Structure 1
Amino acid sequence: MLQARGLSETEAVMRVVWAVVAAVALGAGAVAAQQAAMPAPVVQAQDLTRVSAHVQVIPDRGLSGLPNVGFIVGTKAVLVVDTGLGPPNGETVAAVTRRIAPGRKIYLVATHAHPEHDLGAQAFPAGTTLIRSSVQAREEAADMRVAAAFAQRGADWAALLKGAVFRPADLTFETRHVLDLGGVSAEIEAMGPAHTPGDTIVWVPADRVLFSGDLAMKLQPSMATPTATLADWRRVLDRQAALAPAIVVPSHGPVGDAGFIEGYRDYLAEVARRTAEAKRAGQDPAQAVETVAAAMADRYPDRARLGGAVRMAWKDVEG
């Protein structure tokens, strides 16, 4: 079951756009007050929780701009999944890494190139190996554009992002890369385009734990990549389902299971069906969004994300 919760990275951009509109209508003071009300996304090291034999997670506490940060700990090395927003959060995550895996080699991966997942990487020790797919390695410009939008959300957000830069990959791969961490392996796989061009998942077969990024969550999917199609999303979901995970750690929201994947499948199927019906009835895309939202908003209340799904489906379905 999908459910709305705090804003995530794509919605952050939309918040800034609407903030500009509001500044004209209401004055900059009202906009500043809105931004100040958004809590800063600060990683809390004390919240570290074990979810399986080899996997620990610092949960996002339902806050916008804060990811679930993962640690896959072996006897020889540790893989960190996502960094938090900006160097201060990266320092916190790096400190936790050294505490739970003292003296071990550190690997780092971002589920996708959005700033709360990626722009703490520079704070990790120089010996850290940052792994990116070849596609994600080229996403610096997009990552920094989203960061600029995030910095407008308030002084605390801007402070977290001060001096943040996109850290180049130390190791790139095309499709799949397997790490032997000592007693446990981690399989890193390129999945985009879907939420972003460079979406990446991490699979821990020994524990049947999947880090799904933004590709399977309780939150409605954000379908904001212009080149992605419904077929791309179905492929991504099929691949994740084939792993048969017992535990799914998404980028945002609560830890769950394979029900997140099935929930996304059901959502896409219904959006595609209702969009095709609207198209056959002679509606234009804007009308289709209204029609589909009227039918689904009681179960899927995030209107912006629902609209994005309808617009993607419009390109794919026959009318």
Structure 2
Amino acid sequence: MSKNEFIILGKEIRKGESAILEMDVAKLHTRNNLSIPVIVERASIDGPVLLLLGGVHGNEMNGVAIVRDIIRKKYNKPKKGTVICIPVFNVFGYLNQQREFPDGRDLNRMFPGTANGSLASQFAYKFTKEIAPLVDYVLDFHTGGSSRENYPNVRCDFKNEKNLNLAKIFGAKFIIDSNYISKSIRDLMNKMGKTILLFEGGKSLKLDQKVISCGVNGALNIMKHLGMQEGDLKIDTDYFLLKKTKWLRAPYSGIFESLVINGSYVKQKTVIGRIYDPYGEFDKNIVAPFDCCIYGLNTAPIVYKGDAIFHVNIETK
């Protein structure tokens, strides 16, 4: 491919052109083809290639909504460079409202994949060969699990100054130092020399407009920084660098009630929750063991002893 050529999924996208392409995934058991839309917008001026990725886990709706809003607001039409949008990556999981592929595998543990492996592995392989080599930057949008709500945060490797600088520019309140997980998209892109940020916000199977707004604004900030869009950066909050984190676990089984708002900073010995029984005989407070930020909450009404209930930082800058 020459310097001025941009060929994706077998189609050349010339300067100033756009296209909605289909990445073939597989055939259903009904023999119908299943494919995912890949939306490409190329400016008339050369620049970086940015991939906006939602729905790697099929039940994480906020990521899908973020990429969808970016397209709806036409932020994906760059002044220079190319923006690739994949709102729904794991189309199988999205159709079934499930995290995994039909074979039970987590797509985000299958990269780079193999040509003749499991269904999820073949899917990962196609992405690795046909899309990943073309991009320079990736924003990968996720949520928490069904009973775990994440306050909007960006995860990156603090040792990588370029990644950390982009994370600050994104504009989320919390920036979390996160190692690369083997066979994840982050791990793949890092090994390919690409720059990737992972955004987390809200929980699965639930839309949260504050989370969606943060994700859309963060992506726009990144595009402005890269010269792909015009205008000043919009950063509404100070950021906290969370170097080390842990889950506080339920000391008892029972009905769980959080007494703090997700995203709060609390002082040591602050009462942050309570666990009680349904009979009015047992009622225990949960206190913060140290000064910390709370950026993840268990939203389940019932917990067992040892269940993760508050995601907090141990070390902050």
Q: Give the TM-score, by structure 1 length.
A: 0.29
More strand by share: 2
More helix by share: 1
Q: Which has the larger radius of gyration?
A: 2
Q: Give the TM-score, by structure 2 length.
A: 0.30
